[in-house]
Structure 1
Amino acid sequence: MDSHKTITKPNTVMAPPTYAAAFRCIGTDCEDTCCGDWDIPIDKNIYNKYQQFPREKLGSLVSQFVLISVPDQPDPLHARIYRGSSGFCPFFGADSLCNIHKEYGPQFLSATCSIYPRSFSYVAGTLEGSLSLSCPEAARNILLVPRFMQIEGDLFSGNFRTDNVLHLASSRKDSCHKPHNFFLTIRTLLIDMARDRSRPLWHRLLLIGSLCESLDNITTAEDKEAFSVVLRKYRQIVGYQISQPELVNLPSLPRLKLEVVFRLTDALVRDNSGKRFRDIFWAFVEGIASPDRSTPQNDMERFLQAEEKYHRPFFEKFPFILENYLVNYMFQNLFPYGREGSPRFIPRSLFGEYIQMATQFAWVNTLLIGVAGHYKEGFAEEHVVQTIQSFTRAVEHYPDVLQSIDESMRSLELNNLRGMAIMLKV
């Protein structure tokens, strides 16, 4: 260990995020409205309120488009607002505003419509609020603001509902132990890892995976000291900037990474991923595709050239953008424990949560390389925002897509650190 390196003292546990409350919808100026592409779940209480609407004041639309879900659904999924033939919410007005909100006020909005793109969770008895990057304005607020975590807002302002709140996932028989009293310390360390610019971002992500894997190996609630030992070890690795040759020397196979990304994206594009994401995908393809009659090797050379000439210089200039993506993901998904409380909750181990996060990051970052190759010197913040926002919108809101990521990584035997190195390294 070099004598000139000193340990960075553990940061105090950071304040709970409240930046979601500072978000303001830009309404008609939004380039990708949230009132299209999705059927909106309606809880039982709101459904009953909608039944009281007079026919001439949206009641006729309620009877046509607000329908009870299949029997025995939990209250939050009691009914749904189904889209009209236009693909938009039937209450979406010609002025691009919500007619329910205009006619009856925000208290009559469903939880989804009231909260989105905010996401609320209870952690250690405290309400936290993060943002979904599937909203263009939220993506700008997070990705393009270097210190977005310092933005504060009032989560109890009454401007949105706070009754649809998720919470930390608990230990399960088929998963590892998840002691809630360690969560905030773990998250603080993980965020410090994500922002540790003494090593490349792919290395930071592999180090995060190594930590999650080590914590996964602690299986009993009584072994509290083992958690402390592991956390001290990784805090020293960050503080001393200790290299990990076992991670650095893991293989880089960009051709396999591209094959996986094409496989994942092809399945997504075939589904209802939205025109905005399909546009990004074709920009990615054009950015790495070689002229006719060229060999696959030429495609790989163009991909590597796009990373070296356009993608890498951009993110060296704006390193906080991808860091912010990861930090917001950690807040939103209560990484690495996961958040439960939704009927669509998918239980995962700590390392399983890591595979999900790292695969999504590798997927969207690979798309960014092709998009950079498409725009070349013109590659800019707006292209990054559009790529990440449209990708998030196509992936985040669909449990089947998230489940397919787990299944694909497992079937390809990439659900391990070696596999994540293949996906993350260039």
Structure 2
Amino acid sequence: MEKSLIRPSFVTQFSCIGSDCEDSCCYGWNIIIDKQSYKKTLAHKELKSLAQTALKKVKKSEQQWAQMVLDSKGACGFLDDKQLCQIHAKAGEDLLSHTCKTYPRMSHMKDGDRYESLSLSCPEAARTILLKPDAFQFERMTVNHHRTFKATPIWAKKAHDYTIQLLLKPEQPIEHGLTAVGILMKTTERVANGELESSAIDDMFQQLLSLSNNGQLKQHFEGFNKDTEIHKMHAFTSMQLWLNTNKAGRGRSRFEQINQAICAMGDGDNKISMGRINQAWRDVALPALAEHQTLFSRYLFYYCYHMNFPQVDALTPSQAFRVMLLDFFMLRCYLAVIAAQKQGLSEHDIILCFQVYHTNRQHKANYSQYAVELLDKGQFEDLASILTLLA
């Protein structure tokens, strides 16, 4: 069966920088080893002795046969004194486990086609996706496989394509694009529930383009009630507290930089307000991001592609949109507090915020469910309320 492999140029541009990485994936992670890699490593004459102490059998499955033993600093036992992998150096890439060989490369299947991507939990991947030129050129290659697949509903295909077009509409503020996507998801959800025909998504998309062109979308966004600072602060602190709970071993020192910057936003009574964070966003972060004007449009394009929005986990289209808004909101808060602390934002600071957030997000297995519950409790239950996170 002929199918396609879709590969964005950020995947081909990516190259591991090894020991120069700010947050090496060889530290702080429970690296799982498949059975075949485990046996080959133990059989290798130059690695056998080291493997006996650097690997521990767990035998949960063929794919989770063993795991790396980390030293007191959280480092993989196969690293040499230059922080380079001895398996790679002595036996080549072929002997690496599947995890080590592929990370941060990822992929998902849709209608039998394979879509390749990278995880933002890797600093160099984040830099490539968010900052490098021409990162979003796509190539499509024909491949053959006989795997079965479940067809994507027409409502999901339309919603996915129209979301990207709305977010990337030239000279439109990203907040207005997100407002349009939120409105589109309300219609999409009704189609998914069988209340409307799929053509309703096409009609709404055209209406939203017209609203954007005549300025009514801007008025729609600016008309939302902005007096929600208490609720927004509750959403931010609740999510940050949860991310701090049982956080990933990898990158803890980098995550603490975010926590310290948040604490530094406190007033004389050590109280942190959304007003202070918003002011830091307007006065420091936004001017510092002037030379990276495509940062959030790149991020949201990646988000839709990587997450296969709006078919995210088991969420409804409206729930998927609300989670997207929460992610967007948290990243803006991170950038704001770091900008306030540093009195500006370097490229290093930008990558820190995105990579740290997505590292912790990735390691929360029930992230989407918790995010929806948090938003419900915080009275961000409908479109009008969730859009106030953009204010």
| TM-score, normalising length: structure 2 | 0.83
Alignment of 1:108-257 (within 5 A): 108-145=95-132, 147-150=134-137, 179=153, 183-196=156-169, 198-219=171-192, 226-238=197-209, 241=212, 243-244=216-217, 247-252=221-226, 253-257=228-232
Cα 1:268/1:62, change in 2 over 3 Å: farther
Q: Any idea what SS the aligned residue of 2:198 has?
A: helix
Structure 2 CA distance for aligned equivalents of residues 79 and 115 of structure 1: 17
Letter of the 1:374 partner, please give it.
Answer: Q
Deviation per CA, 1:86-143: give whole Å up to 9, x if none: 2122223322222222222212222221111121223344332222121111111111
Provide, for residues 18-51 of structure 1, a one-character-per-residue CA deviation record: whole Å limited to 9, x for no partner. 5313311111211211111211233344344445
Equivalent-residue separation in structure 1 for 2:139 and 2:10 (angstroms):
5
Contact 2:8 2:136 in 1 (8 A): yes
Match of 2:363 in 1: 397
Q: How many residues align?
A: 377
Equivalent-residue separation in structure 1 for 2:211 and 2:220 (angstroms): 17
**CA 282–20 in structure 1, closer or farther in 2 if over 3 Å, else same:** same
- Higher mean displacement: 84-93 or 239-248: 239-248
Give the conservation status (yes or no) of the 8 Å contact 1:129–1:155.
Answer: no
Separation in structure 2 between the aligned mates of residue 241 and residue 167 of structure 1, nearest angstrom: 41
1:341 is matched with: none
Where does 1:294-313 land on structure 2 (aligned, <5 Å)? 299-313=273-287
Contact 2:34 2:97 in 1 (8 A): yes
Hey, what does 1:175 align to over in structure 2? none
In the alignment, the residues of structure 2 paired with residue 421 and residue 220 of structure 1 have an alpha-carbon distance, to the nearest angstrom, of 23
The question of 1:266 aligning with 2:244 is answered no
Percent identity at matched positions? 24
CA distance in 2, matches of 1:279, 1:16: 34
Q: Which residue of 1 aligns with 2:32?
A: 41
SS at 2:47 equivalent: helix
Describe the shift of the 1:81–1:356 C-alpha distance in structure 2 as closer, same or farther (beyond 3 A): farther
Q: Under a length normalisation based on structure 1, what TM-score does the superposition of the two structures give?
A: 0.77
Partner SS, residue 217 of structure 1: helix
* CA offset digits 1:1-20 (Å, max 9, x no partner): xxxxxxxxxxxxxx753531
The letter for the 1-side match of 2:334 is L
| Offset at residue 69 of structure 1 (A) | 4.9
Worse-superposed segment, 56-65 or 394-403: 56-65
CA gap 1:69/1:124 in 2 versus in 1, 3 angstroms:
same
Which residue identity lines up with residue 308 of structure 1 in the other structure?
R
Conserved 8 A contact 2:168-2:297: yes
1:348 CA drift (Å)? 2.2
Query: Which residue of the partner structure matches residue 281 of structure 1?
Result: 259
Partner of 1:371: 338
Deviation at 1:218, TM superposition (A): 2.0
Structure 2 gap segments, 5+ residues each: 1-5
Opposite residue 303 of structure 1, the aligned amino acid is I
The answer (yes or no) to whether the contact 2:258–2:337 under 8 Å persists in 1 is no
Give the structure 2 partner of residue 11 of structure 1: none
Say if 2:382 is the partner of 1:416: yes
Letter paired with 1:57: L
Alignment CA distance shift 1:122-1:250 (3 Å):
same
Residue by residue over 1:141-187, the C-alpha shift from the partner in whole angstroms, topping out at 9 and shown as x without a partner, is 1111354202769999xxxxxx9xx999x69xxxxxx51x5655433
| SS class of match (1:95) | coil
Change in 2 beyond 3 A, CA 1:60/1:300:
closer
Q: Which moved further from structure 2: 366-375 or 393-402?
A: 393-402
Cα pair distance change 1:246/1:207, threshold 3 Å: same
* SS of equivalent to 1:85: coil
CA distance in 1, matches of 2:303, 2:179: 16
**Unmatched runs of 5 consecutive residues or more in structure 1:** 1-14, 157-162, 172-177, 339-345
Amino acid across the alignment from 1:328:
Y
Who is 2:352 aligned against? 386
In terms of mean alpha carbon deviation, does 360-369 or 347-356 score higher?
Answer: 347-356
Aligned residue for 1:399, secondary structure, equals: coil
Q: Which residue of 2 aligns with 1:325?
A: 299
Q: What is residue 100 of structure 1 aligned with on the other side?
A: 87
CA RMSD of aligned residues (A): 3.3
Which residue is 2:3 aligned to? none
- Structure 1 residue aligned with 2:8, among 17, 32, 50? 17
1:322-344 Cα offsets, whole Å, 9 max, x none, are 11111112222112113xxxxxx
Structure 1 residues 32 and 16: CA distance shift in structure 2, 3 A:
closer
CA distance in structure 1 between the aligned counterparts of 2:44 and 2:359, rounded to whole angstroms: 31
Alignment match, 1:160: none
Deviation at 1:246, TM superposition (A): 5.4
Relative to structure 1, the CA distance from residue 419 to residue 115 in structure 2 (aligned partners, 3 Å threshold; closer, same or farther) is farther
